[in-house]
């Protein structure tokens, strides 16, 4: 209880600014998604604040946030790069594409750039297999990606720093 | 055999951004016809058609509808399962992109049949890029035309949510963990109310069935599997894409004649949870009773390693297991460990025996379809390509 009181006192800013009033338990998942989007991540303070606002335990919010691959705890990069690694994309060379993203961004699978610009994760099938390999950047889908295309695609989302070129 | 387009009837013909285009091609006529029938007459027509669920399980759709319609509850719900997560499947995305109105019409007829006022379309997070178009099309159509309200719910990235009970948990805003069953959704589904949950492709069959009748529908396909199936064909083929063929079509016609596969070693049918068919059995007919799943078809040519294929599939399940039941949560990790050990050339023959034994245990003891089907590709590749495994044993 002491923790919940502390959470109430430090109501995070989103608590007051969300457009939707807190409706039913059914909207908790979509609400957590909204918070993650607005706050560029989910801090433990966010998780606690959501729990208080919705009258559920923090562990329940945490449980949801860690269950789904599009959610997660901690800060999120401004640009999220996902490289599909399922069989149809593998057969068409997704390993080479993933390696090139790693090289250009200077981060490994699961990594986030130090300045929070880009993150990279390899993910399971995203349903774009008719033109494999496929990657997504934020909500944009790119099909039939070759390693040579990677730099062009990523540079649409801002200056790329920290990669192999920068170190050279 | 050429393609036979029932489910994909409007794809490439109707402008998916124009309801007028849909109307001009006979849109909403089946819904009007259904509204002139009693809900039970609609249910009986679908039941008589022999339509079976296209998500992979092949459960008779009409029976599902009848159970839900007759089940007492404060409200009835229809859920359209657009959580197409099976590896190598994209036919539902193709439908959502190309014929949203046809899907809404099918959902509306289902609502009429079971007495539901609200339907949910559960869209996987990976298909967020379709959301804008879907919402525009829904707004344009309007509740009045449909006679029900369709709400789009987005997932948040979890393969297991394609499993119906996990999907309902997710709509309820929870972790998408499978429920113990029974009770089944037609009795106790969404918020414990009677619920019909159908795959996108299943619902796409409703309009033609109502329009042309069950007798017409039964003339297509093969015996216990009437109608057509949409397949997503990928891998080592010349022309990857979505192909719709009648049930009973030979696998070879699909992958060789239509998609242009050459030098085939094996075909995985049904995605990561699917069966692996060796080239020698390409004459296998595509039915629920042989191989099918949700219709993902991945072709592998002679250069591909079957142990690698099995490892990829098991890696997928080790990540996507929801963790609720032990045989799935732990079993997939151990399968992966055994396969990795073999790939590193440090495995023993007993490891291959262990793979077999553990696969059997998982198939009978996992809580839901995910875990039960997870070892499929291990079992099949061991049966048809056992030499590849034994050649990897440390000498």
Report the CATH number that the domain containing residue A119 is assigned in CATH: 3.40.30.10
Would you call B127 and A127 a contact, using CB atoms and an 8 Å cutoff? Answer: yes
Domains defined along chain B, listed by start: 19-217 (3.40.50.11540), 222-301 (3.10.20.600), 310-390 (1.20.1440.230)
Disruptive mutation site among A23, A83, A129 for chain B (greatest number of B CBs within 10 Å): A129
Say whether both A29 and A105 belong to one domain: no
With CA atoms as reference, the chain A residue closest to B177 would be A67
User: Counting beta carbons within 10 angstroms of the beta carbon of residue A41, is it exposed (0 to 12), middle (13 to 18) or buried (19 or more)?
Assistant: middle
Q: What is the pLDDT of residue A161?
A: 78
Q: What are the tens digits of pLDDT across the range B189-238?
A: 999 999 999 999 999 999 999 999 999 999 999 999 999 999 999 999 99
Picking from B93, B156, B319, the nearest residue to A70 by CB comes out as: B156
CA distance B205 to B194: 22
Residue A83 and residue A69 share a domain: no
**pLDDT bucket at A164, cuts 50 / 70 / 90:** low
Is B176's CB within 8 Å of A63's CB? Answer: no
CB contact under 8 A, A127 and B304: no
Residue B166, token pair as written in the block: 């996990």
Residues A143 and A65 occupy one common structural domain: no
Q: Which residues in A lie closer than 8 A to residue B236 (C-beta atoms)?
A: 91
Across B73-106, b (16+ Cβ under 10 Å) vs e yields: beebbbbbbbbbbbbbbbbbbbbbbbbbbbbbbb
What span, in angstroms and rounded, lies between the C-alpha atoms of B251 and B292? 10
Report the C-alpha gap between A5 and A27 in whole angstroms: 24
Closest CB to A139: pick one of B129, B177, B234.
B129
Least reliable range by pLDDT among A12-26, A77-91, B105-119: A12-26
User: Chain B 167-186, CB below 8 Å of chain A: which residues?
Assistant: 170-177
pLDDT of B26 above 50: yes
What is the mean predicted confidence (pLDDT) over A35-45? Answer: 90
Q: Indicate whether A62 and A119 sit together in one domain.
A: no
Structure confidence at residue A38 (pLDDT): 87
Pairing relation of β-strands B296-301 and B195-199?
Answer: unpaired
Residue after which a domain boundary falls, among A74, A107, A136: A74
Q: How many domains, chain A?
A: 2
Residue A79 scores a pLDDT above 60:
yes
Q: What is the pLDDT of residue A2?
A: 41
Taking CA atoms, what residue in B is nearest to A36? B156
Query: Quick check: B248 and B225 in contact, CB under 8 A?
Result: yes
Q: Which of B91, B93, B157 to mutate to test the interface with A (most CBs of A within 10 A)?
A: B157
Tell me how far apart the alpha carbons of residues B12 and B371 are, in angstroms, rounded to a whole number: 37
Residue B50 has pLDDT above 90, yes or no: yes
Residues A67 and A88 in one domain: no
Q: What is the pLDDT at residue A8?
A: 44
Cβ-nearest to B158 among A67, A128, A132: A67
Quote the pLDDT of residue A25.
81
Q: Is B132 on the interface with A (CB under 8 A)?
A: no
Mapped onto helix, strand or coil, the DSSP state of residue B78 is strand
Question: In the prediction, which pLDDT does A82 show?
Answer: 97
Report the share of chain A in percent with pLDDT over 90. Answer: 67
pLDDT in tens, B348-360: 999 999 999 999 9
Question: How many angstroms separate the CA atoms of B161 and A42, rounded?
Answer: 22
Which pLDDT value is given to residue B1?
Answer: 62
Residues in chain A, total: 168
- The answer on A144 and A86 residing in a single domain is yes
CB contact (8 A) between residue A129 and residue B125: no
* Cα–Cα distance, B176 to B184 (Å, whole number): 16
Note whether A125 contacts B89, CB cutoff 8 Å.
yes
- What is the pLDDT at residue B330? 97
- In this structure, the number of other CB atoms found within 10 A of the CB of residue B181 comes to 13
Q: Would you tell me which residues 245-274 of chain B have a C-beta closer than 8 angstroms to some C-beta of chain A?
A: 268, 271-272
Q: Are residues A144 and A117 in the same domain?
A: yes
A35 and A88, same domain (yes or no): no
Give pLDDT, residue B39.
Answer: 98
CB contact under 8 A, B172 and A26: yes
Residues A48 and A117 in one domain: no
Domain that holds residue A61: 2-74
Give CB contacts under 8 A, 24+ apart, made by A18-23.
A22/A53, A22/A54
Q: Are residues A47 and A91 in the same domain?
A: no
Give the closest-approach CA distance of A143 to chain B in angstroms. Answer: 13
Residues A10 and A23 in one domain: yes
Q: Of A74, A101, A134, which one is at a domain's C-terminal end?
A: A74
Chain pair A-B, CB pairs under 8 angstroms: 117
Minimal C-alpha gap between B203 and chain A (Å): 20
Q: What is the tens place of the pLDDT at every residue in A16-34?
A: 444 344 457 888 999 999 9
For B:75-94, CB contacts with A below 8 A are 84-90, 92-94
**A 115-144 → B contacts, CB under 8 A:** 123-132, 136, 139-141
Is the Cβ of B235 closer than 8 Å to some Cβ of chain A?
A: yes
Last residue of a domain, one of A56, A74, A92: A74
Mean pLDDT (chain B) is 96
Q: What is the mean pLDDT of residues A77-84?
A: 96
Give me the pLDDT at residue A55, please.
Answer: 83
- Classify strands B241-246 and B228-235 as parallel, antiparallel or unpaired: antiparallel
Does one domain contain both A55 and A114?
no
Closest CA to B69 of B111, B120, B106: B111
Where residue A165 falls among pLDDT bands split at 50, 70, 90? Answer: low
- A52: CATH: 1.10.10.1590
Q: Give the other-Cβ count within 10 Å of B19's Cβ.
A: 21
């Amino acid at each position: 209880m002491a923790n919940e009181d502390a959470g109430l006192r430090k109501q995070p800013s989103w608590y007051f600014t969300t457009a939707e009033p807190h409706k039913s338990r059914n909207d908790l998942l979509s609400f957590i998604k909204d918070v993650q989007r607005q706050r560029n991540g989910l801090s433990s303070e966010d998780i606690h604040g959501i729990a208080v606002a919705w009258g559920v335990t923090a562990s329940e919010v945490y449980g949801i946030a860690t269950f789904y691959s599009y959610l997660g705890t901690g800060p999120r990069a401004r640009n999220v790069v996902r490289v599909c690694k399922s069989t149809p994309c593998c057969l068409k060379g997704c390993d080479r594409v993933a390696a090139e993203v790693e090289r250009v961004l200077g981060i490994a699978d699961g990594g986030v750039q130090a300045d929070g610009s880009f993150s990279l994760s390899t993910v399971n099938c995203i349903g774009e297999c008719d033109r494999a390999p496929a990657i997504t950047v934020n909500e944009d889908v790119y099909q039939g990606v070759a390693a040579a295309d990677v730099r062009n695609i990523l540079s649409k989302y801002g200056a790329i720093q920290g990669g192999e070129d920068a170190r050279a | 055999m050429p393609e036979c387009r029932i489910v994909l009837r409007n794809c490439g013909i109707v402008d998916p951004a124009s309801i007028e285009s849909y109307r001009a091609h006979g849109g909403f006529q089946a819904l009007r016809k259904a509204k002139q029938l009693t809900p039970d007459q609609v249910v009986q027509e679908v039941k008589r058609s022999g339509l079976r669920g296209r998500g992979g399980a092949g459960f008779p759709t009409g029976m599902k509808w009848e159970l839900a319609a007759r089940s007492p509850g404060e409200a009835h719900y229809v859920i359209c399962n657009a959580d197409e997560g099976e590896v190598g499947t994209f036919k539902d995305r193709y439908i959502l992109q190309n014929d949203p109105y046809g899907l809404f019409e099918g959902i509306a007829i289902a609502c009429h049949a079971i007495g539901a006022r609200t339907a949910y379309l559960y869209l996987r997070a990976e298909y967020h890029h379709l959301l804008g178009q879907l919402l525009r099309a829904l707004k344009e159509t309007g509740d009045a035309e449909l006679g029900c309200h369709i709400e789009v719910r987005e997932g948040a990235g979890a393969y297991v949510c394609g499993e119906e009970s996990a999907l309902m948990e997710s709509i309820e805003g929870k972790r998408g963990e499978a429920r113990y069953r029974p009770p089944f959704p037609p009795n106790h589904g969404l918020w414990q109310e009677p619920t019909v949950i159908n795959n996108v492709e299943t619902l796409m069959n409703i309009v033609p069935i109502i329009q042309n009748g069950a007798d017409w529908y039964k003339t297509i396909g093969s015996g216990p599997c009437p109608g057509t199936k949409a397949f997503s064909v990928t891998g080592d083929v010349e022309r990857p894409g979505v192909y719709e063929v009648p049930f009973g079509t030979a696998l070879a016609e699909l992958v060789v004649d239509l998609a242009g596969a050459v030098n085939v070693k094996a075909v995985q049918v049904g995605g990561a949870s699917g069966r692996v068919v060796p080239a020698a059995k390409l004459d296998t007919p595509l039915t629920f009773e042989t191989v099918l799943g949700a219709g993902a078809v991945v072709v592998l040519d002679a250069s591909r390693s079957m142990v690698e294929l099995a490892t990829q599939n098991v890696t997928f399940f080790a990540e996507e297991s929801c963790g609720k039941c032990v045989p799935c949560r732990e079993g997939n990790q151990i399968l992966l460990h055994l396969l990795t050990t073999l790939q590193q050339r440090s495995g023993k023959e007993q490891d291959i025996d262990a793979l077999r034994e553990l696969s059997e245990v998982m198939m009978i003891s996992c809580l839901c379809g995910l875990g039960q089907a997870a070892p499929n590709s291990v079992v099949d590749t061991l049966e048809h390509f056992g030499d590849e495994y034994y050649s990897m044993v440390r000498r």
